[in-house]
């Protein structure tokens, strides 16, 4: 399974699309990431990050990394056309891992082991998209749960991909329990939940939505008590405390912080059980009280 070949740290490319940072600096960051021989995660919605990647790939064509990319579509043609357009923008021929952002009939068909399975199998066998992970949010957890329980993902979906960090565990409780029971592979997104917990807690507006500031208030004392020296290390160790975690995806515009992520993902030690238990209790509560009731796409 491709998911077993992911680098432990996947570089998220959102910060490459920040046009307030000089383009040359962003290209340099991309080139440094490419020098590390790690996977990247991208999407055509991250500002002009695909164009920055294209420029970096042209400079170092032998160092083009393996790519996870978000993909949409309800039919084989829609899925292929969307991916082709974005790969063309980067000057790349095929996609290593497609992140399925699906809902409605296509997701229902996948859950029931229907035509969607055939479509995904055909695309994978063509080599154009070599593997798939399935994106999950609290408000879309129902069909992925049904699919997992029905066994319809076996051999076709390598894992689930969702926000997983000390402030966000974006598979709803029932799906999360099933993922843990079956040890279905996970790819984590948003490694540090947007930045250091004390900044999220203390600097007005640093957290892009209020609930993250409120969660930072609850998690900061747990982080402090743990004695772990940095928030990046704490978050990486949190994610890797789950044995079915295959990679964690974090972004930064700064080369030194790329190295912080890389260092934290070498020889990772799980967090102590009491720390994990305290965070788990918070996350079960947040999931039921906030996440599943949220207006979709507002979190
Ligand atoms: N639905 C989806 O598929 C989805 C949604 C969200 C994210 N993602 C993926 O996950 C990746 C990461 O998500 P994210 O950017 O939202 O969250 P993140 O990686 O948790 O946070 C990145 C932010 O934290 C800052 N940061 C990183 N390391 C830091 C450090 N050591 N000290 C201080 N600040 C630090 C970065 O700013 P600087 O640039 O200043 O370092 C950046 O603003 C994205 O790039 C994307 O690939 C996917």
The preferred substitution site among 192, 200, 212, 230 for testing ligand 1, maximizing ligand atoms within 8 Å of CB, is 192
Which residues line ligand 1 at a C-beta cut-off of 6 Å? 12-15, 41, 70, 99, 135, 189-196, 232, 249-254, 257, 260
Tens place of pLDDT per residue across the chain (299 aa): 999 999 999 999 999 999 999 999 999 999 999 999 999 999 999 999 999 999 999 999 999 999 999 999 999 999 999 999 999 999 999 999 999 999 999 999 999 999 999 999 999 999 999 999 999 999 999 999 999 999 999 999 999 999 999 999 999 999 999 999 999 999 999 999 999 999 999 999 999 999 999 999 999 999 999 999 999 999 999 999 999 999 999 999 999 999 999 999 999 999 999 999 999 999 999 999 999 999 998 99
**Residue given tokens 């077993």 in the structure block:** 4
End-to-end CA distance of the chain: give it in Å, rounded.
Answer: 31
In the chain, % helix, strand, coil (3-state, to 5) comes to 50, 15, 35
Do 138 and 291 meet the contact criterion of CB atoms below 8 Å apart? Answer: yes
Do 110 and 143 meet the contact criterion of CB atoms below 8 Å apart? Answer: yes
Report the nearest-CA residue for atom 37 of ligand 1.
252
15 C-alpha vs ligand 1 centroid, how far in Å? 7
Cα–Cα distance measured from residue 18 to residue 135, given in angstroms and rounded to the nearest whole number:
24
Report the nearest-CA residue for atom 48 of ligand 1.
189
pTM of the model: 0.98
Report the nearest-CA residue for atom 8 of ligand 1.
189
Tokens representing residue 66 in the block: 């393996």
Q: Is 297 left (phi over 0), alpha (psi -120 to 50) or beta?
A: left
Q: Is 189 strand, coil or helix?
A: strand
Cα–Cα distance measured from residue 172 to residue 142, given in angstroms and rounded to the nearest whole number:
8
Where are any strands of DSSP class E within 180-268?
A: 186-189, 245-251
**What's the topology of domain 2-293?**
TIM Barrel (3.20.20)
Cα–Cα distance measured from residue 208 to residue 213, given in angstroms and rounded to the nearest whole number:
9
Beta bridge partners of 69: 42, 98
H-helix or E-strand containing 222? helix 210-226
The preferred substitution site among 26, 46, 250 for testing ligand 1, maximizing ligand atoms within 8 Å of CB, is 250
149 C-alpha vs ligand 1 centroid, how far in Å? 32
299 C-alpha vs ligand 1 centroid, how far in Å? 15
- Tell me, what DSSP letter sits at residue 128? S
């Amino acid at each position: 399974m491709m998911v077993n070949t992911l680098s432990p740290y996947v570089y998220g490319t959102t910060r490459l699309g920040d046009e307030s940072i000089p383009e040359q600096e962003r290209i340099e960051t991309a080139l440094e990431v490419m020098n590390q021989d790690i996977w990247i995660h991208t999407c055509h919605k991250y500002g002009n990050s695909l164009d920055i990647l294209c420029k970096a790939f042209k400079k170092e064509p032998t160092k083009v990394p393996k790519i996870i990319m978000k993909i949409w579509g309800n039919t084989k043609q829609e899925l292929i056309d969307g991916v082709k357009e974005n790969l063309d923008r980067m000057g790349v021929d095929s996609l290593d891992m497609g992140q399925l952002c699906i809902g409605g009939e296509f997701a229902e068909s996948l859950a029931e082991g229907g035509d969607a399975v055939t479509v995904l199998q055909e695309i994978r066998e063509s080599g154009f998209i070599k593997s798939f992970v399935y994106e999950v949010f609290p408000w879309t957890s129902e069909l992925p749960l049904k699919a997992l329980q029905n066994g319809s993902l076996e051999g076709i979906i390598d894992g689930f991909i969702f926000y997983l960090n000390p402030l966000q565990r974006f598979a709803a409780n029932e799906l999360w329990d099933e993922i843990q029971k079956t040890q279905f592979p996970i790819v984590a997104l948003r490694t540090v939940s947007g930045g250091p917990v004390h900044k999220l807690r203390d600097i007005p507006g640093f957290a892009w939505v209020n609930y993250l500031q409120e969660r930072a208030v609850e998690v900061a004392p747990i982080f402090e008590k743990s004695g772990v020296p940095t928030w990046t290390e704490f978050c990486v160790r949190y994610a890797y405390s789950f044995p079915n975690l295959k990679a964690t995806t974090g972004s930064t515009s700064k080369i030194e912080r790329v190295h912080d992520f890389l260092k934290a993902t070498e020889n990772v030690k799980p967090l102590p059980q009491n720390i994990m238990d305290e965070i788990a209790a918070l996350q079960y509560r947040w999931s039921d009280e906030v996440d599943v009731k949220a207006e979709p796409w507002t979190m």
